[in-house]
């Protein structure tokens, strides 16, 4: 927590003693001084881990010391914890404005003091770690861009070794390349010798390099004097006696080590994970650059072929230069695969999308990253071997956190003779989800349109039919297959479509319930009502849609209803006539009965010898004949002649004739309609 001592500044001896005792109890190193002047003098020579500063002291007091500390570049970020016995908030505010990071009031509790000191040290440690990561990232970016530049490649390799030596804080860094077979290696660059070129070395004297080449795994030796691997060369005049600590990192290309990045320190040295991580990243970037530069070809001889190989390497690097900045700053993920679909390089966006860090990605096959869809990855790998590089392929990938995402990938060959495949990709999970929902919505709307009882037809502004639902098929007696894409004007009589469009425009883009005729596949006119409107993309009309209601069934029903009404009126008229005839027969029955009875009475009174008997007989016979006719009329009309008896109901001709003056005749007849009139004798 405190790599350097904590500097205690307090003019009070008792306070100083208590502070020293509190730090000593937790094993934290410290240095105590009694004045601000001593503190400033000590800060000139050594920067502590933290400054524990009393505010109230003789000049220079704590405020002046704090002002000087913040003004000096070496101590600008030094954590400062101030001590004060003052209760006023104004003093604390003044201390923070002067640059204090935290404060403790006197008298203080040792536990609180130690906790605050540790908190500031942790915060400082985290800040330094972030700064180191930023520096490492900047270094990797700088060297990656340098490796892809078109400058002198030898000078670039020398710069790489120098920068790696600075970061790792070692005495020497070398780049050693090896042939595919044999025991000879070539030192192509070294951090301590700018003129070194292709120095041949016998790998039998470097067993550590041979082991790393064979295993393609890093090797760290913290004590060369005791490591068993170096026993065979330790007795001679070798590199093992000159250096105490070694770190060898493989330069891997296509799964094979083509060389090593060799770090050596003369003193006993512990290689940190941070430094080794940076070196691994640089070695991965160097593998592609070295391969593309054909450095191995320059090692075949020291003749004219060296110049040719160098020219070829520079040409390759020049072609890659344009990709360097693009890779790092691209908004799309970019990955480089070899012919076996093994990942060689990934840019920051690729790692952000997938959730993997560089160590997780490098060397992995694309099929391994696709999880359950590994078959698709193997198919891509087989396609690479055939020279097939698909574009716009959607594949599902599992992020490192297990979240599935959909990537849209496009592949292309880069320096195809070198079997390098470039892949650019984007996370299209949200877009594909929206597209899927749109497809579902479209299908749902399509089912609604097809289920409509009314015909629905949509066309663009050129008149091309885009939608033709099932009701439209029934209406026009033609299929959607033959209609879609055809001219909408064929569905109307001459100038019919133009008339509808004119009405729509007159109605400011809409028309409702217009009665028109359309033309079916047989050339027959079909009566319909149409409601139509324009479709807009923003403020621009792009098409029209119409809803057509078939009126044929409605018109047939109206005709049937009209016929039924006529028949009903006719039946009512006949019923009225029948009722009138029946009523008349009934009304005539009584006078005829009176005539017959009167004739019979006269016959009895006059006797058979009376001359009037013949006349009475004629009258009697004619009355009987009339009575028979009336009785037949009554039976036909269901109104038999009889006198009104009890509750019998029969049409009253007097009242009916009075009602005729006020209402139609069939209304008078309807008074008795529906009840069975009484039968007469």
Query: Residues 423-479: pLDDT tens digits?
Result: 888 888 888 888 888 888 888 888 888 888 889 999 998 989 999 999 989 989 989
Using the structure block, give the residue that is written with the tokens 């217009």.
514
Q: What is the pLDDT of residue 428?
A: 87
Residues 102, 178, single domain; the answer is no
- Residues of the chain with pLDDT > 90: what percent? 5
Is residue 140 included in any domain, yes or no? no
Residues 215, 347, single domain; the answer is no
Pairwise CA distance, residues 467 & 586, whole Å: 73
Residues 116, 48, single domain; the answer is yes
Q: What is the pLDDT of residue 528?
A: 92
Is residue 342 included in any domain, yes or no? yes
Buried b / exposed e over 73-102, threshold 16 CB at 10 Å, is eebeebbbbbbbeeeeeebbebbeebbbbb
Query: Which of 107-116, 418-427, 521-530, 578-587 tops mean pLDDT?
Result: 521-530
Residue 299's pLDDT band (cuts 50, 70, 90): very low
- For residue 497, give every residue at least 6 positions away whose Cβ sits within 8 Å of its Cβ, in sequence order, or none: 463, 488, 489, 491
Is residue 658 included in any domain, yes or no? yes
Q: With a cut of 70, say whether residue 673 has pLDDT above it.
A: no
Is residue 207 included in any domain, yes or no? yes
- For residue 175, give every residue at least 6 positions away whose Cβ sits within 8 Å of its Cβ, in sequence order, or none: 157, 160, 161, 187, 188, 189, 190, 251, 259, 260, 261, 262, 286
602-617 pLDDT tens trace = 888 887 778 888 888 8
Whether pTM > 0.85 for this model: the answer is no
131-156 pLDDT tens trace = 766 665 666 666 565 555 545 566 77
Residues 279, 388, single domain; the answer is no
Residues 580, 525, single domain; the answer is no
Q: At what angle do helices 304-329 and 273-293 cross, to 10 degrees?
A: 120
As a whole number, the mean pLDDT across the chain is 77
With residue 323 as reference, give the H or E element that holds it. helix 304-329
Is residue 139 included in any domain, yes or no? no
Pairwise CA distance, residues 355 & 405, whole Å: 11
Q: What is the pLDDT of residue 456?
A: 92
Is residue 154 included in any domain, yes or no? yes
Q: With a cut of 70, say whether residue 551 has pLDDT above it.
A: yes
**Cβ count within 10 A of residue 425:** 22
Among 433, 465, 496, residue at a domain's last position: 433
Mean of pLDDT values over 374-380: 72
48-59 pLDDT tens trace = 888 888 888 888
Using the structure block, give the residue that is written with the tokens 């679909």.
341
Q: What is the pLDDT of residue 672?
A: 37
Residue 269's pLDDT band (cuts 50, 70, 90): low
Kindly report the CATH number assigned to the domain that includes residue 542.
3.30.450.20
Q: What is the pLDDT of residue 669?
A: 37
Pairwise CA distance, residues 39 & 250, whole Å: 49
Residues 49, 123, single domain; the answer is yes
Lowest mean pLDDT, pick from 321-330, 452-461, 547-556, 621-630: 321-330
Residues 424, 543, single domain; the answer is no
Using the structure block, give the residue that is written with the tokens 């290689």.
271
Q: Which residue has the higher pLDDT, 557 or 655?
A: 557
Kindly report the CATH number assigned to the domain that includes residue 120.
3.40.50.2300
Q: What is the pLDDT of residue 322?
A: 56
Residues 194, 296, single domain; the answer is yes
Query: Which of 436-440, 525-529, 633-637 tops mean pLDDT?
Result: 525-529
Q: With a cut of 70, say whether residue 400 has pLDDT above it.
A: yes
Residue 45's pLDDT band (cuts 50, 70, 90): confident
Number of domains in the chain: 5
Residues 502, 541, single domain; the answer is yes
Q: Say whether the peptide bond before residue 107 is cis (omega within 30 degrees of 0).
A: yes
Among 550, 580, 597, residue at a domain's last position: 550
Identify the domain containing residue 409 by its residue range: 330-433
Q: What is the pLDDT of residue 311?
A: 62
94-113 pLDDT tens trace = 888 888 888 888 888 888 88
Q: What is the pLDDT of residue 678?
A: 40
Kindly report the CATH number assigned to the domain that includes residue 632.
1.10.287
Query: Which of 381-395, 625-639, 662-676 tops mean pLDDT?
Result: 381-395
Among 376, 403, 433, residue at a domain's last position: 433
Lowest mean pLDDT, pick from 37-46, 85-94, 143-152, 531-540: 143-152
Q: What is the pLDDT of residue 251?
A: 83
71: which 2 tokens? 């003004």
Is residue 143 included in any domain, yes or no? no
Residues 255, 155, single domain; the answer is yes
Q: What is the pLDDT of residue 467?
A: 92
Residue 549's pLDDT band (cuts 50, 70, 90): very high
Mean of pLDDT values over 318-324: 56
Inter-residue contact 250 to 208 (CB < 8 Å): no
Q: With a cut of 90, say whether residue 547 has pLDDT above it.
A: yes
Residues 36, 111, single domain; the answer is yes
φ and ψ at residue 16, rounded to 5 degrees: -60, -45
Cα dihedral 250, 255, 258, 260, rounded to 10, equals: 0
Residues 163, 264, single domain; the answer is yes
Q: What is the pLDDT of residue 650?
A: 47
Q: What is the pLDDT of residue 459?
A: 92
Q: With a cut of 80, say whether residue 167 has pLDDT above it.
A: no
Is residue 445 included in any domain, yes or no? no
């Amino acid at each position: 927590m405190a790599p350097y001592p904590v500097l205690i500044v307090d003019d009070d001896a008792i306070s100083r003693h208590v502070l020293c005792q509190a730090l000593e109890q937790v094993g934290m190193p410290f240095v105590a001084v009694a004045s601000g002047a001593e503190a400033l003098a000590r800060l000139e020579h050594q920067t502590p881990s933290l400054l524990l500063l009393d505010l109230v002291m003789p000049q220079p007091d704590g405020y002046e010391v704090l002002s000087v500390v913040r003004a000096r570049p070496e101590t600008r970020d030094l954590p400062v914890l101030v001590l004060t016995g003052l209760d006023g908030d104004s003093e604390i505010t003044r201390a923070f404005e002067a640059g204090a990071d935290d404060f403790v009031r006197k008298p203080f509790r040792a536990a609180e003091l130690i906790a605050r000191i540790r908190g500031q040290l942790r915060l400082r440690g985290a800040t330094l770690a972030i700064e180191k990561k930023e520096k490492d990232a900047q270094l990797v970016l700088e060297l990656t861009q340098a490796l892809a530049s078109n400058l002198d490649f030898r000078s670039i390799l020398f710069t790489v070794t120098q920068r790696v030596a600075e970061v790792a804080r070692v005495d020497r860094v070398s780049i050693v390349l090896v042939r595919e077979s044999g025991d000879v290696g070539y030192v192509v660059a070294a951090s301590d010798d700018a003129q070194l070129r292709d120095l041949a070395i016998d790998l039998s004297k470097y067993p550590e390099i041979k082991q790393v080449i064979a295993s393609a795994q890093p090797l760290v030796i913290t004590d060369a004097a005791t490591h068993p691997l170096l026993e065979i060369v330790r007795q001679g005049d070798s590199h093992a006696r000159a250096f105490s600590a070694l770190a060898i990192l493989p330069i891997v290309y296509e799964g094979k080590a083509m060389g090593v990045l060799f770090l050596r320190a003369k003193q006993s040295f512990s290689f940190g994970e941070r430094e080794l991580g940076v070196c691994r990243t640089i070695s991965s970037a160097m593998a592609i650059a070295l391969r593309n530069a054909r450095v191995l070809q320059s090692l075949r001889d020291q003749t004219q072929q060296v110049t040719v190989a160098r020219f070829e390497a520079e040409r390759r690097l020049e072609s890659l230069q344009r990709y360097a900045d693009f890779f790092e700053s691209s908004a799309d993920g970019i990955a480089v695969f070899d012919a076996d679909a093994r990942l060689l390089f990934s840019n920051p966006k690729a790692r952000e999308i997938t959730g993997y860090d560089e160590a997780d990605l490098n060397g992995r096959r694309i099929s391994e990253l696709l999880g359950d869809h590994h078959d698709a990855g193997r198919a891509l790998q087989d396609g690479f071997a055939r020279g097939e590089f698909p574009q716009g392929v959607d594949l599902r990938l599992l992020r490192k956190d297990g979240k599935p995402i959909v990537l849209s990938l496009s592949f292309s060959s880069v320096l195809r003779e070198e079997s390098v495949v470039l892949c650019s990709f984007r996370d299209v999970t949200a877009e594909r989800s929206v597209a899927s929902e749109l497809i579902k919505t479209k299908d749902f709307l399509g089912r609604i349109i097809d289920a409509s009882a009314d015909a629905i037809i949509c066309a663009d502004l050129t008149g091309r039919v885009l939608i033709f639902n099932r009701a439209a098929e029934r209406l026009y007696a033609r299929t959607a297959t033959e209609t879609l894409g055809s001219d909408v004007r064929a569905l109307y009589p001459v100038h019919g479509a133009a008339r509808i469009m004119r009405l729509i425009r007159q109605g400011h883009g809409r028309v409702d319930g217009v009665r028109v005729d359309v033309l079916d596949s047989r050339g027959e006119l079909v009566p319909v009502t149409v409601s139509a409107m324009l479709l807009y993309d923003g403020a621009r009309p792009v098409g029209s849609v119409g809803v057509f209601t078939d009126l044929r069934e409605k018109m047939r029903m109206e005709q049937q209803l009209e016929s039924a009404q006529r028949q009903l009126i006719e039946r009512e008229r006949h019923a009225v006539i029948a009722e009138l005839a029946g009523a008349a027969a009934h009304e005539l029955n009584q006078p005829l009965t009176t005539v017959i009875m009167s004739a019979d009475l006269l016959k009895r009174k006059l006797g058979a010898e009376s001359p009037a008997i013949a006349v009475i007989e004629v009258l009697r016979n004619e009355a009987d004949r009339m009575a028979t006719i009336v009785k037949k009329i009554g039976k036909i009309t269901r109104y038999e002649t009889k006198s009104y008896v009890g509750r019998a109901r029969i049409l009253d001709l007097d009242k009916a004739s009075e009602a005729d003056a006020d209402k139609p005749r069939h209304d008078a007849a309807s008074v008795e309609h529906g009840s069975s009139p009484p039968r007469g004798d």
